[in-house]
A and B are shown apart, each in its own frame.
Chain A
Amino acid sequence: MIAIESLSKRFPRVTALDRLTVGIEPGVTGLVGANGAGKSTLIKILLGLSPATEGTASVLGMDVATQGGAIRERVGYMPEHDCLPPDVSATEFVVHMARMSGLPATAARERTADTLRHVGLYEERYRPMGGYSTGMKQRVKLAQALVHDPRLVLLDEPTNGLDPVGRDEMLGLIRRVHTDFGISVLVTSHLLGELERTSDHIVVIDGGRLLRSSSTADFTQRTAVLAVEVTDTDEHPDGTAVLRAALRQGGLDPHEPASGGAPAPGAGHVVMLDIGGESGDADESVLDTVRDTVAELGLGLVRMERRRHQISEVFTERSTGDVA
């Protein structure tokens, strides 16, 4: 879908992108980065609207530097900011945008009706957009990006300004854009958690450089951990230390809860265990071992909790220097 090869974009004072190399496959890809990480700059370059300082990029097999027009014909773009005139209805507006994408008038009307229905706008589509809620406006913005049936849509912060329910609906809709409509999606966000649920693949950039690019499963499951919390007893005043020692004898590799950030309540009594996470069955024996060990030591088992690494840990890892 998208191939980016040592792409740089420098402005007189800032470097927005710094030798970025990444490939993006069909499916839903999340582009994560803090504000100012270079996400919007990257989108502009991918649309062929802003020349790169150096390096190359291609979208749908077309070079962004020379075939911008052809790319934009088959790519949809949903901007981050408000972009809807308040005095026209969603239908009129999306029909107009469909024609701007080159659709003949009749096709534009048909596609508009279809697309607005798919994004979940019904009777209200005949009313002026000035009276819409943020959630409805986001749907219209998405509809105008999809109306010409692109092969790829670039969604810039589509969940911005939505309440939790609206956020979930928008994320579900984005998921459907790929599963039901067959359109690939590149969606940006500075909130890592929400992309976990929608994306097949996550690309993290920071300061214009690639931090990490891997599948969402890799991100969240490869290092699944088990948190075990135990009580102290008279016999073993420091229950966690004893358990840790016993587990180490049992061939496991317990460690302290991840440092960095504020310690969670009760973190001192928690033992963390890496449990691989290749498949659910493999964990069973580990769970048994832990249970037996705790029972033998006579400690009180408060909880055993399987935790998934959050994508946000990418940033914590980076700050401790684990990720190059």
Chain B
Amino acid sequence: MSPDQTPAPQATASGGAATAERGQNVIHNIGYRGYEGPRLGRSYARRALFSQSLRGTYGLGRSAKSKVLPLLLFAAVCIPAAILVAVAALTKAKELQVGYAEYVLLMQPLLGIYLAAAAPQAISMDLRFKTTPLYFSRPMERSDYVAAKYAALSAALFLFTAVPVLIMYIGALLAKLDFGDQTEGAVQGLVFCALFALLHAAIAAWIAALTPRRGFGVAAIIVAITVPYFLVSALQGIAWTSDNNGAIGWLGLGSPGTLLDGVQSRFLGGRSGFPDEQTLTGAQGAVYLVVLAALIVCFCTLLLRRYRKAGL
């Protein structure tokens, strides 16, 4: 492990001719040097993987091409928020046309596309190119890897939803809307963003971990998020037109989108997207929260179990 002073012949041979001509910038081959510095271990590696994956979901640190879609989508969710506050300011409205949490739900199709692009990028690619063995042959454990990837995806989605909420909040304050109301709404909106991100990231991460193929991952995530939502919404519509209003709330448990809609209208002061703007009863609200937590735990457990096999 002592530094080797004898220059390696191969490096001088290839570097010598080129550097001699330039005269400057001569490469001195000092042989192999060991590393005596600190080794920061698992938690450092976990944080490094988190930040690398988070940057990756926005295309940062990757090719220019892979920045296009995330940034376009990001602009697409932010601009309507800006327009919304501009309209509120110009019309001198007392409050914003759309609530904070409601805005996030309105943007669901865009969020779905973003998630469907980001999750396979963060997760399937390591499986496709078999990079995971390189992670697992290092100090980190499988749980570290899964935690870092899940946290990165959640954080990416949170940023994606929270930034428009903040734009609306700042705009609302500049438009001199009521400070107390708006602050309460924005905080509730941010809580909703967090719940939205945690649930959707868990579902998308698990789906992405099932396939090494990015195309399958993208399609499967879009299907998993949108199809149940439209199905449940349709069923709710049928229940409403057939006067089974009691069923609407329970049906809402059936998809991630309606589940979150119910939670925000019951607990976070938003307007319900259910037929007749129905909100949940007390019992339904409790069940919704339990189901929400159970789904997050369940998908994280599945994700962890998936990596028990797909490793080295």
A-side residues, CB < 8 A to B, are 44, 47, 49-50, 69-70, 72-73, 75-77, 79, 81-88, 92, 96-97, 99-105, 107, 111, 114, 117-118, 120, 122, 128, 144, 148-149, 151, 176, 180-182
Q: Check: B133 CB closer than 8 A to any chain A CB.
A: yes
The reply to whether B133 and A83 contact each other, CB–CB distance below 8 Å, is yes
Known contacts: A101-B138, A104-B37, A149-B34. The answer to whether A47 contacts B312 by CB under 8 A is yes
The reply to whether A44 and B129 contact each other, CB–CB distance below 8 Å, is no
Shortest beta-carbon distance from A288 to chain B in Å:
40
Q: Check: B273 CB closer than 8 A to any chain A CB.
A: no
Shortest beta-carbon distance from B74 to chain A in Å:
21
Shortest beta-carbon distance from B147 to chain A in Å:
14
Q: CA separation between A101 and B131, bound complex, in Å?
A: 14
A111's nearest neighbour on chain B, judged by CB, is: B35
Q: CA separation between A241 and B41, bound complex, in Å?
A: 70
Interface size class of B (residues with CB under 8 A): 35 or more
Instruction: Determine, out of B61-69, B152-160, B240-248, the stretch whose residues face the partner at the interface.
Output: B61-69
Shortest beta-carbon distance from A143 to chain B in Å:
12
The reply to whether B39 and A73 contact each other, CB–CB distance below 8 Å, is yes
Interface majority SS (helix, strand, loop, mixed), chain B: loop
Q: CA separation between A87 and B121, bound complex, in Å?
A: 11
B-side residues, CB < 8 A to A, are 1-2, 4, 6, 8, 10-11, 14, 31-35, 37-42, 44-45, 48-49, 52, 61-63, 66, 125-126, 129-131, 133-141, 311-312
The reply to whether B33 and A77 contact each other, CB–CB distance below 8 Å, is no
Among the listed B32, B125, B133, which residue makes an inter-chain contact with A85, where contact means beta carbons less than 8 Å apart?
Answer: B125
Among the listed A49, A72, A85, which residue makes an inter-chain contact with B311, where contact means beta carbons less than 8 Å apart?
Answer: A49
New A-B pairs, 9, CB < 8 Å, besides A70-B139, A96-B48: A69-B42, A77-B134, A83-B130, A83-B133, A83-B134, A85-B129, A102-B40, A104-B38, A149-B1
Which of B35, B129, B141 counts the most A-chain CB atoms under 10 A from its CB? B35
The reply to whether B136 and A49 contact each other, CB–CB distance below 8 Å, is yes
Q: CA separation between A149 and B38, bound complex, in Å?
A: 12
Shortest beta-carbon distance from B160 to chain A in Å:
22
Shortest beta-carbon distance from B104 to chain A in Å:
31
Among the listed A49, A84, A104, A181, which residue makes an inter-chain contact with B129, where contact means beta carbons less than 8 Å apart?
Answer: A84
Among the listed A70, A102, A151, A182, which residue makes an inter-chain contact with B44, where contact means beta carbons less than 8 Å apart?
Answer: A102
Among the listed B42, B44, B134, B139, which residue makes an inter-chain contact with A97, where contact means beta carbons less than 8 Å apart?
Answer: B134
Q: CA separation between A72 and B1, bound complex, in Å?
A: 18
The reply to whether A99 and B312 contact each other, CB–CB distance below 8 Å, is no
The reply to whether A100 and B135 contact each other, CB–CB distance below 8 Å, is yes
The reply to whether B312 and A44 contact each other, CB–CB distance below 8 Å, is yes
Among the listed B11, B45, B133, which residue makes an inter-chain contact with A117, where contact means beta carbons less than 8 Å apart?
Answer: B11
Shortest beta-carbon distance from A239 to chain B in Å:
49
Q: CA separation between A77 and B130, bound complex, in Å?
A: 14
Between A and B, 27 residue pairs with Cβ closer than 8 Å are: A47-B137, A49-B137, A49-B312, A69-B141, A70-B139, A72-B137, A72-B138, A73-B41, A79-B133, A83-B130, A85-B126, A92-B61, A96-B48, A99-B45, A100-B49, A101-B45, A103-B37, A103-B40, A104-B37, A111-B35, A114-B33, A117-B11, A118-B11, A122-B14, A149-B1, A180-B6, A181-B32
Which residues from A are CB-within-8-Å of B48?
96, 99-100, 105
Which residues from A are CB-within-8-Å of B45?
99-102
Shortest beta-carbon distance from B11 to chain A in Å:
7
Among the listed B10, B38, B42, B130, which residue makes an inter-chain contact with A79, where contact means beta carbons less than 8 Å apart?
Answer: B130
Q: CA separation between A198 and B92, bound complex, in Å?
A: 81
Q: CA separation between A41 and B119, bound complex, in Å?
A: 31
Q: CA separation between A73 and B139, bound complex, in Å?
A: 5
Which residues from B are CB-within-8-Å of A148?
35, 39
The reply to whether A87 and B63 contact each other, CB–CB distance below 8 Å, is yes
